[in-house]
A and B are shown apart, each in its own frame.
Chain A
Amino acid sequence: MKENNGVMKGAEIFFECLRMEKVEYIFGYPGGAVLKLYEKLYDVDFLEHILVRHEQGATHMAEGYAKATGKPGVVLVTSGPGATNTVTGIADAYMDSVPLVIFTGQVASHLIGNDAFQEADIVGITRPITKHNFLVRDVKELASTIKKAFYIASTGRPGPVLVDLPKDVINSECEFQYPENVELKGYRPFFYGHQYQIKKAAEMLKNSKRPLLYVGGGVIISNGSNELRVLAGEHNLPVTMTLQGLGAFDGMNDQSLGMLGMHGTYWANQAVNNCDLLIALGARFDDRVAGDVLNFAPKAFKIHVDIDPTAIDKNVVVDLPIVGDVKHVMAELAAELTEPLSFPEWWNEINAWRDESPLEYEDGDGLLRTEFIIDKISQKTKGQAVVISDVGQHQMWTAQYYKFTHPRSFLTSGGLGTMGFSVPAAIGASFAVKDRPIVSISGDGGFQMNIQELITAVAYKRPVKFIIINNSFLGMVRQWQELFHLEKYSFTDLSASNPDFIKVAEAFGLKAFSTDSPKEVDEILDKAFEINDGPVLIEFKVVREDMVLPMVPPGEPYEKMIVKRLNQKSTK
């Protein structure tokens, strides 16, 4: 226990706890139940409060901050609607293992359950979408609960933790002591993998002729990119990454096969289909990766390294599980491999697949395509930008065409697939990353889902490049309608109902550019990347009916992959 700091009000204790946790930013929105906290916040100078325009924006901003830094993102909102508005962001963070601590106001303890004004059972509502949550019932529990919340959120497999603060708790007082340690009988994350299993994995690797590393977001979360570089680099191992894993390994390195799965590269998916040893590192065999779970990597002995025991054997049954922090397991695995390995024949096969069906798009016909734009952004930023995508076709093209060179560079909503993620998450990331360009990429649909946060970017002069890939369609849904739903384009055409994005930008006070010509892309990007004293919006009007390929149809084995489009749609 720390020394006694005297009697304090709950609101003061709250901010002292945040100071002890070294919180730099809170993303929040005031309201009745948290007025006392905002009263105290008025005089707090050791952290900055970012005023959002909708509480969903606050949670996504906190996610952007947390994904970019690895530190927990902090949200403060009021009770009732303030709290329920955070739900989508919390669910998103839960799916993608993002550390968040969400503080929600609550009506006074004696009113709980009475349908009081702005009352919602947010602890009940968020129970299935948080790693853990708390209702603080006594001011004496406040400090220890906040300590636990930060500890749980940021250790093991990270995730969101919600702390519900009844109004009377923050108004009452007690002696403040911030605990140094957390005692939780039922929570002790695994850290080191089982020695015998790591040795066995090394043996398997030595005897393998066609090994493949399948890298997920866990490698980034555990800060294991260096260990991955050493393991893959010294032993000539091919690396394929999931959507969340992109950036864990240098995408410009020849050993990177790019992304695998539904919209993975042809050669990465062929490598999965033909490898004899698959080592999953901090990945969870999600259905968008595995397709047909019974026929995923059918020829391979499967090793699965994950810190979360529930991830093992959940979707795909594996042959050798290793529960532990993937960073340490990779280091220990590399230490077991004293002689460098090499797989020249396997690489010949992989490179033949690479040549057989490279990623390509139509170019030179004067029409603007997303792939071209992403390619350009990748070249211009030399893979150094932090790219925050939304959800849909542009997201998959970004994953395919942007060459990420560093971890924590591609922030995207993977598991939950939350449209409206990019705009606020990019703003949140911009508070964390100050020396690299911040590029938000959205479709015209998702952009409108948190469009209100543009004013937050303007107010805080965030140097975010907001890029809208506008095909006036909900493009990915349209693609599925074309392929699997009898070409019934039911409610996906926005051409008659999109706003004028340039006027929107002007109204919010952003500089804006728009074009539908490939020739102007360079110039516009150059101009936009020179603006660093505030946000800028770029609308790219692209061809309307392009498809993301290759594509493994949902639930199908990899051999059913669609590589080329058979019915070329007339574009425009």
Chain B
Amino acid sequence: MKHIISVLLENRYGAFNRVATMFSGKGFNIQSISIGETEIPEVSRMTLVTSGDDKIIEQVVKQLNRLIDTIKVIDLTQTPTVIRELALITVFYQKGTRSEILNVGDIFRGNVVDINNKTITLEVTGPPDKIDAAINVLAPYGIKELARSGAVALKRGEQNKDFKKQTNYSQL
């Protein structure tokens, strides 16, 4: 099963590498990974999409917690969550297909961010499954290039009200 795991990390040299090394060393699978700054400059947030049975996910969470640079690990899969991913999709067009492609972009609430005499680049945001759907629909036209940001996610509602208290979750 797919799991979305949010990790607060010390914004330090090598911290991201340590997570990546742990995943490859333990043979865990990563579908996407994204990392960036948070409201606190010395902390970054990493959003991981991974999959595995309960035993594996339990180990993923524990092993993440075990890293010295991780401050907090939350498996967001079972909690109400806002999830977004951004994709840039460059599609070939011919006479007659241009308006169809623009129409698909509209349906997925995408924006046209670039166009030339052969291709259109659409920007689509949304949960990863919406991106998957957009790509599926656009694929028959011929996708020239595709870039996906990986999912970012936050718990809905009361998240991050009191960051300091939450840091007590750290484990060995």
Contacts and interface: CB of A to CB of B under 8 A. Distances in A.
B18 interface: yes
B49 to A, nearest CB: 21
Given A127-B17, A190-B172, 4 more contacts: A128-B25, A186-B10, A187-B68, A310-B172
A415 interface: no
Interface string B1-36: 000000001100110011001100100000000000
Interface in A155-211: 156-157, 184-190
Nearest to B65: A309
B63 interface: yes
A135 B14 contact: yes
Given A123-B14, A137-B13, A190-B172, A313 B58 contact: yes
Contact of B170 (A188, A308, A312): A188
A436 interface: no
A307 B55 contact: no
Nearest to A185: B71
Contacts of B58: 313
A305 to B, nearest CB: 14
Contacts of A317: 55
A314 interface: yes
B171 A184 contact: no
Contact of A185 (B17, B65, B170): B170
Interface in A123-143: 123-124, 127-128, 131-133, 135, 137
Interface string B92-134: 0000000000000000000000000000000000000000000
A152 interface: yes
Contact of A127 (B18, B65, B168): B18
Nearest to B25: A128
Contacts of B67: 186
Contacts of A310: 59, 62-63, 66, 172
Contacts of B71: 185-186
Contacts of A152: 68
Contact of B21 (A127, A157, A184, A307): A127
Contact of A124 (B17, B55, B69): B17
Nearest to A155: B172
Contacts of A189: 172
Given A127-B14, A310-B62, A310-B63, A187 B172 contact: yes
A388 B18 CA distance: 33
Interface in B62-92: 62-63, 65-71
Contact of B68 (A135, A184, A312, A313): A184
Among A188, A189, A312, the one with the most B-chain Cβ atoms within 10 Å of its Cβ is: A188
A131 B68 contact: yes
B38 interface: no
A184 B66 CA distance: 13
A186 B66 CA distance: 9
14 contacts: A127-B14, A127-B17, A128-B25, A135-B14, A185-B170, A186-B10, A186-B170, A188-B171, A190-B171, A308-B172, A309-B66, A309-B171, A309-B172, A313-B58
Given A135-B14, A152-B68, A190-B172, A309 B62 contact: yes
B160 interface: no
Contacts of B168: 188
Contacts of A131: 68
A310 B171 CA distance: 10
> What are the 7 tightest A-B residue pairs by CB atom distance, in nearest-first order?
A132-B68, A310-B62, A128-B25, A186-B71, A156-B172, A189-B172, A127-B21
Nearest to A137: B13
B10 A185 contact: yes
Interface of B: 9-10, 13-14, 17-18, 21-22, 25, 55, 58-59, 62-63, 65-71, 167-168, 170-172
Contacts of A187: 68, 170, 172
A274 B17 CA distance: 45
B59 A314 contact: yes
Contacts of B70: 186
A317 B62 CA distance: 15
A481 to B, nearest CB: 29
Contacts of B65: 309
A185 B163 CA distance: 12
A111 B55 CA distance: 44
Interface string A292-323: 00000000000000011110111001000000
A185 B169 CA distance: 10
A324 to B, nearest CB: 11
A190 B66 CA distance: 11
A186 B13 contact: no
Contacts of B25: 128
A184 B62 CA distance: 18
Nearest to B66: A310
B68 A186 contact: yes
Central interface residue in B14, B68, B171, by most chain A CB within 10 Å: B68
B75 to A, nearest CB: 14
Contacts of A123: 14
B172 A128 contact: no
Contacts of A184: 68
B62 A186 contact: no
B152 to A, nearest CB: 21
B163 to A, nearest CB: 10
A118 to B, nearest CB: 21
Contacts of A313: 55, 58-59
Contacts of B9: 186
A128 B70 CA distance: 15
A308 B167 contact: no
B34 to A, nearest CB: 20
A24 to B, nearest CB: 26
A190 B18 CA distance: 22
A187 B68 CA distance: 5
B26 to A, nearest CB: 9
A186 B172 CA distance: 8
A128 B62 contact: no
A96 B28 CA distance: 23
Greatest chain A CB density within 10 A among B14, B18, B22, B171 is at B171
A124 B168 CA distance: 29
A286 to B, nearest CB: 16
Contacts of A128: 21-22, 25
Contacts of B13: 135, 137
Nearest to B164: A185
A185 B14 contact: no
